[in-house]
Chain A
């Protein structure tokens, strides 16, 4: 009988770091570039010590030139390398949006299939650390709108550890969103953790009474809400989307088909959100199995404010998820 691998206590940050380290070790074409990835050690300390270990050719500190270094990532990918580009936050990525949308996402199709852009872009996203309206937005849904790229949202240690290597095996550009509040997430990870499949959502908690559909920074909140509901005798299923493009529509329809009630938890703004897309797909594909209208828990339509109480009020919280769950369960006050 095979023995279970040893489990190790670790964090989301350490898991990302282990994934990055493995990629640099395994493939000489892999290199990391971005602002403060080297000497500083990475804004979120993910690449601390890498400059010393891998040298300045492969751990490249860049000037504050998002467009130039993301574009350079595209060119390097076209030229046979496997660049990993780190953009400090999703808000800064807007300075590189031309390269991502007009370049990375379009080149394969626009060239009639001649070009392949195996580029991985990592960036931090989301609110929760009182960084105000230019460092806190959750724009994953915008990127998920774009055909030609893949969008991933690791929300667990396992995915933080494994998604990078899987992304590097993809011939197409992949954006990995690391939610800023997850870096200190603690948990256990097998010693031999490695690549994980992409494209598939994962049921993180089984349940039969309603489905909480979440991703990235909202997954821990959905799990907490499920725990609270369990105490009241309600079995909530929690679906972690993991991949925001492509969406695992089959998994979404399967959980709704099972529970007949859905709450979507999305830190993006409600209007035109990823939650709206998922809701529409449920309507198209599972309308007759619904026992209640789909509920969405999204960010308030406001630039994320600095003051803690206002920031907390602006983004989805466990209480909001519970209130939405109450609605789909027909328990509105």
Chain B
């Protein structure tokens, strides 16, 4: 753990750090279960796992207020869980059951929850950014002091929609925190093979927007930056950009044979795994012992078992309902 993070842990204290560990473990174990269920063909379609990147969602989202908004990507199970969407509703969605958080219409890539202002779940890279602008604009025009957080990967930075959105957010002073989860790969294409300038913050600063990079494998660093940046966006009413440098340990999706990465590269990043790193730090401080960790693991295992049982027991939406909700009133 780097010295700065040691100080952050001092500041947060044992219980808040334990909460961060709980959130990361919930995501990790939930997704391990999802991968297993995919193997059993309970879950179909695309399944994009967040394993390795948990520190970002776990370290950032708890600093949002309930009235703030989140726009995420197709790799958003972790964000949905941390935001408070029940694990059962997410699992049921991946099963395609009507008890799912999008009634089985969205699947893994399109998790939504209007009450929690969770706007998904966008599977068009860059497509969520303009929507985040509008959510922030609506808040601003109605005098609500809310922040919209928009997650995307570094692949999105190559999209035109990204640059249009940076420009407009800055021009109109919209309260959006743009969170780039830079895991180095746009599906199978490394950032060095897709970006002429890989210093993403440098590019964003040209839009007269403040930008910084944070170690996305260190949940304490993420937490510190997130608290500060969300507060800045709220107080200044201006957008900010943050790049979390992270890595996915699993392939892009369950269909990906992962032929484009060196196994040594993956192993190297796994040594920075945010979950054991935090456990180690907590143990060294006497904040965590085997018994407490076992209790936590058991609690998480129970939540996931219940979520899976909920999804299993879920029901299929009647086919007669197929055309419902294309329009508010069926024309």
Contact = CB atoms under 8 A, between A and B. Distances in A.
A172 B331 CA distance: 11
Interface string B149-163: 000000000001100
Interface stretch (A106-114, A204-212, A231-239, A262-270): A106-114
Contacts of B106: 110-112
B328 to A, nearest CB: 4
Most buried by A among B122, B134, B137, B329: B134
Interface in A55-104: 57, 60, 62-63, 65, 67-81, 83, 98-99, 102-103
A112 B104 contact: yes
Given A63-B167, A98-B161, A113-B103, A79 B127 contact: no
B124 A68 contact: no
A110 B105 contact: yes
B141 A57 contact: yes
Contact of B142 (A67, A81, A110): A81
Interface stretch (B108-116, B191-199, B260-268): B108-116
Interface stretch (B42-50, B227-235, B319-327): B319-327
Contact of A76 (B119, B138, B165, B171): B138
29 contacts: A31-B141, A65-B164, A65-B168, A67-B161, A69-B168, A71-B130, A71-B131, A71-B133, A75-B130, A75-B136, A75-B137, A78-B119, A78-B131, A98-B161, A103-B124, A110-B110, A111-B102, A111-B105, A111-B112, A111-B114, A111-B121, A112-B101, A112-B102, A112-B105, A113-B324, A113-B325, A114-B102, A115-B119, A171-B328
B95 to A, nearest CB: 14
B127 A68 contact: no
A109 B325 contact: yes
B127 A98 contact: yes
A75 B164 contact: no
Contact of A68 (B136, B138, B165): B165
Interface residues on A, range: 35 or more
B161 A63 contact: no
A110 B171 CA distance: 31
A199 interface: yes
Interface in B272-291: none
B132 interface: yes
A246 interface: yes
B218 interface: no
B131 A75 contact: yes
B59 interface: no
A67 B159 CA distance: 11
